């Protein structure tokens, strides 16, 4: 299915939530409202004509230093791939600075947990409903979000204690029935 | 035991009550052990935190970021050309594939036509790198489970491939071989003969290793049925490359989304059936043989011509022109001082790296530096599944599994 057909399918199913679209070097970027992301992605995953069974990546972007930018400060791009049908999808969500939140899709794809943690760590987008939204690449004592444009590249932070991981371990042991 | 970790009370759940309360609830002693972050068997700075019930792993959680050095932030502060050496340090076991992946993305953004010869040499470089990546992965994995001899067989030929790569680009690991629009230099005269000789040696060593392990009881017991992951789970985790193919999914970007004329080469995609450690190791030996076939085909019909485009936006003019006429001098000055400036836009582009789909999402704002680069490292997805995979297995299996999913901390942590 090409991008245009996909756009029509999403528009028909979720009317009024598609904000626009743009061609990105042959791949149609479909711009959506943040609040419908889990529903749309679940639909794209489960619908037999779409069958996007793999989440390739979640890309977070801070547009605050982009020349002549007038939109919301942050953006998140969801890259999906269907291994059975071979097509790809690119969904984009604009995220405001005052309320940088997107509902989580961590229950839909196993790798979304870490990808959302990375977007939170680097840019500071919060994923509502995420089971364990904490830093992943940066140290847990790190202050700020390094890939924001107002974070100077030369800034250094002194970080001391390593993480115990007991918060995650406690939850995991409970899930495995060790109570 | 956990008291050692808790010298501060910054985190919400960090007090030593964590473990004590568990002990009381289940009345059973679980021992908490750190596997890594600094241990020879972790092949990089990775940390797995295990709760052990005897020797069996009851639960495992992982932590990454020990090698995080801000690749993406660094790219934003450097020009497009200056990003290429940074890509060497992503998957440093097969650096040229990263160079190719990044340059391919930028070239698509600029719509630069790369000469046919450069494309063919890039395929050669990628396949040679894929072979040594697989040799490292399999060799190191085997040494982790006690089969030291195989390590020498795989690393000896790897060394010979590195000799070729060194003659090709001047460096062994950090190659920076590609340029936006082509390559830094052409092949050297004896390249053809030397590669063919090395390919024979690789085939010989692969055969020897297979002979050593294929009926080896210890190897089979250590790998068969260990840390199985299902197709569905692997796909849900976003696995690509050899680890996904080991579960039985026939998916290879060189076939499904062919680039660089891969559709013109005859090669097969080996797939596994179980998705255990055994499949992941053995599959790599089959892939090495397929890569050898590709290299032979490329060498047999290597196009002639330049290895760098003459597109003035990306290519430095020949020195005679820089020193001989004003246009050449201006062109040189423009590229050095103003850099390569793609028009504002966003692009996701991917290549089949040795580990899986290596993607670059690049945002350009019309300046010489990329506005944002997001790298999609294939082993980030692999390691996300690691904790879940080793639960129920033994500690020694966790080590065997870590080698088989081929985690390279350089690209995992960026």
Instruction: Give the integer Cα–Cα distance in Å for B53 and B57.
Output: 6
Query: What are the structure tokens assigned to B180, written together?
Result: 């936006």
Contacts of B181 by beta carbon, 8 Å cutoff, 6+ apart: B103, B107, B112, B114, B308, B309, B311, B314, B315
Instruction: Give the integer Cα–Cα distance in Å for A141 and A121.
Output: 12
Interface contact flag, A24 B12, Cβ < 8 Å: no
- Residue of A79, A135, A166 with shortest CB distance to B348: A79
**Segment A144-162, tens digit of pLDDT:** 999 999 999 998 889 888 8
Interface contact flag, B68 A137, Cβ < 8 Å: yes
Across chain B, mean pLDDT equals 87
User: What's the whole-number mean pLDDT along residues B281-291?
Assistant: 92
DSSP B237: T
Query: What are the structure tokens assigned to B369, written together?
Result: 């530096």
**Segment A92-141, tens digit of pLDDT:** 999 998 989 999 999 999 999 999 999 999 999 999 999 989 999 999 89
How far A161 CA lies from chain B's nearest CA (Å)? 7
pLDDT for the residue B199 = 93
For B165-200, give the secondary structure using H, E and C. Answer: HHHHHCCCCCCCCEECCEECCCCCCCHHHHHHHHHH
Q: What percent of chain A has pLDDT over 70?
A: 100
Interface contact flag, A25 B51, Cβ < 8 Å: no
- Residue of A24, A53, A170 with shortest CB distance to B235: A53
ipTM over 0.90: yes
* Residue ranges covered by each domain of chain A: 3-175
Query: DSSP letters of B38-96?
Result: S-GGGSSS-EEEEEEETTEEEEEEEE--TT---HHHHHHTS-HHHHHHHHHTTSTTSHH
What is the pLDDT confidence band of residue B6, given thresholds at 50, 70 and 90? very low
How far A66 CA lies from chain B's nearest CA (Å)? 6
Query: DSSP letters of B296-365?
Result: HHHHHTPPPS-SB---TTTPPPPHHHHHH-HHHHHHHHIIIII---PPSEEEEEEEE-SSSEEEEEEEE-
Whether the Cβ atoms of residue A63 and residue A73 lie closer than 8 Å to each other: yes
Q: What percent of chain B has pLDDT over 90?
A: 44
**Segment B23-41, tens digit of pLDDT:** 444 546 788 888 878 777 7
Residues 285-344, chain B: which have Cβ within 8 Å of A? Answer: 344
When scoring A24, A42, A57 by the number of chain B Cβ atoms within 10 A, the one with the most, hence best to mutate, is A57
B19 touches chain A (CB under 8 A): yes
Q: What percent of chain B has pLDDT over 70?
A: 93
**Segment A74-98, tens digit of pLDDT:** 999 999 999 988 889 999 999 998 9
End-to-end alpha-carbon separation of chain B, Å? 32
Closest CA to B198 of B255, B146, B159: B159
Interface contact flag, B384 A169, Cβ < 8 Å: no
**Segment B69-87, tens digit of pLDDT:** 889 999 999 999 999 999 9
What is the pLDDT confidence band of residue B163, given thresholds at 50, 70 and 90? very high
Residues 264-293, chain B: which have Cβ within 8 Å of A? Answer: none
CATH number 3.30.460.80 is the correct assignment for the domain at A3-175: yes
The pairing of beta strand B182-183 with beta strand B178-179 = antiparallel
User: What's the whole-number mean pLDDT along residues B152-177?
Assistant: 90
DSSP A151: S
- pLDDT surpassing 70 at residue B8: no
B385 touches chain A (CB under 8 A): yes
Instruction: Give the integer Cα–Cα distance in Å for A85 and A82.
Output: 5
Closest CA to B303 of B72, B47, B124: B124
CATH number 1.10.645.10 is the correct assignment for the domain at B71-309+342-413: yes
CB pairs under 8 A between A and B: 165
Interface contact flag, A57 B374, Cβ < 8 Å: yes
B346 touches chain A (CB under 8 A): yes
Closest CA to B340 of B95, B99, B107: B107
Interface contact flag, A164 B51, Cβ < 8 Å: no
What is the pLDDT confidence band of residue B15, given thresholds at 50, 70 and 90? very low
Whether the Cβ atoms of residue B105 and residue B83 lie closer than 8 Å to each other: no
Interface contact flag, A169 B10, Cβ < 8 Å: no
pLDDT for the residue B19 = 52
pLDDT for the residue A166 = 86
Q: Which residues of A touch B381 (CB under 8 A)?
A: 111
Hey, how many other C-beta atoms are within 10 angstroms of the C-beta on B167?
13
Instruction: Give the integer Cα–Cα distance in Å for B101 and B311.
Output: 20
**Distance from the Cα of residue B49 to its chain's centroid:** 24
Interface contact flag, A137 B413, Cβ < 8 Å: yes
Interface contact flag, B63 A165, Cβ < 8 Å: yes
Interface contact flag, B30 A178, Cβ < 8 Å: yes
Beta partners for B394? B56
Closest CA to B98 of B181, B186, B175: B175
Interface contact flag, B5 A77, Cβ < 8 Å: no
Instruction: Give the integer Cα–Cα distance in Å for A63 and A71.
Output: 8
Q: Which residues of A touch B241 (CB under 8 A)?
A: none
**Segment B183-227, tens digit of pLDDT:** 988 999 999 999 999 999 999 999 999 888 888 888 888 888 888
Query: What are the structure tokens assigned to A4, written together?
Result: 């245009």
pLDDT for the residue B5 = 41
- pLDDT surpassing 50 at residue A69: yes
- pLDDT surpassing 60 at residue B9: no
What phi, psi does A158 have (nearest 5°)?
-90, 120
**Distance from the Cα of residue B39 to its chain's centroid:** 21
What phi, psi does B12 have (nearest 5°)?
-60, -50
- pLDDT surpassing 60 at residue B20: no
All CATH 1.10.645.10 domain ranges of chain B, comma separated, are 71-309+342-413
pLDDT for the residue B1 = 36
């Amino acid at each position: 299915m090409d991008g245009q057909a996909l756009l029509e399918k999403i528009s028909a199913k979720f009317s009024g939530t598609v904000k626009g679209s743009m061609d990105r070097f042959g791949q149609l970027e479909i711009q959506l409202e943040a609040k419908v992301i889990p529903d749309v992605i679940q639909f794209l995953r489960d619908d037999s004509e779409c069958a996007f069974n793999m989440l390739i990546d979640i890309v977070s972007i801070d547009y605050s230093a982009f020349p002549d930018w007038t939109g919301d400060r942050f953006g998140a791009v969801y890259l999906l791939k269907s291994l059975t049908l071979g097509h790809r999808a690119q969904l984009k969500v604009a995220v405001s600075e005052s309320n940088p939140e997107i509902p989580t899709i961590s229950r839909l794809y196993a790798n979304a947990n870490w990808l959302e943690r990375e977007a939170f760590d680097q840019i500071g987008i919060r994923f509502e409903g995420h089971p364990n939204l904490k830093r992943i690449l940066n140290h847990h004592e790190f202050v700020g979000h390094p890939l924001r444009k107002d974070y100077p590249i030369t800034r250094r932070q002194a970080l001391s204690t390593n993480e115990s991981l007991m918060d995650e371990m406690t939850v995991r042991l409970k899930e495995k029935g060790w109570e | 035991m956990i008291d050692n970790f808790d010298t501060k009370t910054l985190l919400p759940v960090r007090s030593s009550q964590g473990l004590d309360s568990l002990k009381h609830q289940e009345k059973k002693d679980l021992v908490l052990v750190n596997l890594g972050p600094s241990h020879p068997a972790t092949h990089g700075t990775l940390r797995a935190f295990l709760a052990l019930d005897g020797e069996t792993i009851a639960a495992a959680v992982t932590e990454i970021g020990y090698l995080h050095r801000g690749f993406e932030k660094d790219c934003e502060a450097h020009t497009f050309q200056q990003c290429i050496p940074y890509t060497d340090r992503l998957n440093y076991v097969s650096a040229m594939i990263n160079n190719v992946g990044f340059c391919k993305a930028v070239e698509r953004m600029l719509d630069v036509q790369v000469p046919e010869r450069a494309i063919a040499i890039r395929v050669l470089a990628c396949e040679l790198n894929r072979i040594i990546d697989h040799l490292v992965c399999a060799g190191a994995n085997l040494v982790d489970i006690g089969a030291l001899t195989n390590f020498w067989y795989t690393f000896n030929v790897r060394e010979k491939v590195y000799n070729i790569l060194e003659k090709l680009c001047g460096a062994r690991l950090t190659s920076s071989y590609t340029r936006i629009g082509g390559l830094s230099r052409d092949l050297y005269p004896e390249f053809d003969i030397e590669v063919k000789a090395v390919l024979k040696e690789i085939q010989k060593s692969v055969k020897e290793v297979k002979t050593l392990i294929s009926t080896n009881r210890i190897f089979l017991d250590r790998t068969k049925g260990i840390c199985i992951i299902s197709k569905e789970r692997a796909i849900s985790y976003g696995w690509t490359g050899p680890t996904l193919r080991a579960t039985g999914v026939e998916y290879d970007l060189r076939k499904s989304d062919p680039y660089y004329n891969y559709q013109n080469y005859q090669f097969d995609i080996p797939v596994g059936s179980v998705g255990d450690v055994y499949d992941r190791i053995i599959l790599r030996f089959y892939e090495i043989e397929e890569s050898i076939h590709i290299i032979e085909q490329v060498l047999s019909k290597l196009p002639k011509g330049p290895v760098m485009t003459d597109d003035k936006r990306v290519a430095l003019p020949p020195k005679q022109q820089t020193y001989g006429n004003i246009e050449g001098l201006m062109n040189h000055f423009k590229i050095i001082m103003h850099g390569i400036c793609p028009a504002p836009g966003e692009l996701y582009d991917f290549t089949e790296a040795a580990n899986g789909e290596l993607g670059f999402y690049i945002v350009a704002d019309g300046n010489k530096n990329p506005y944002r680069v997001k790298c999609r490292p294939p082993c980030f997805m692999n390691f996300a599944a690691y904790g879940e995979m080793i639960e129920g297995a033994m500690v020694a299996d966790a080590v065997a599994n870590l080698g088989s999913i081929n985690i390279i901390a350089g690209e995992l942590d960026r």
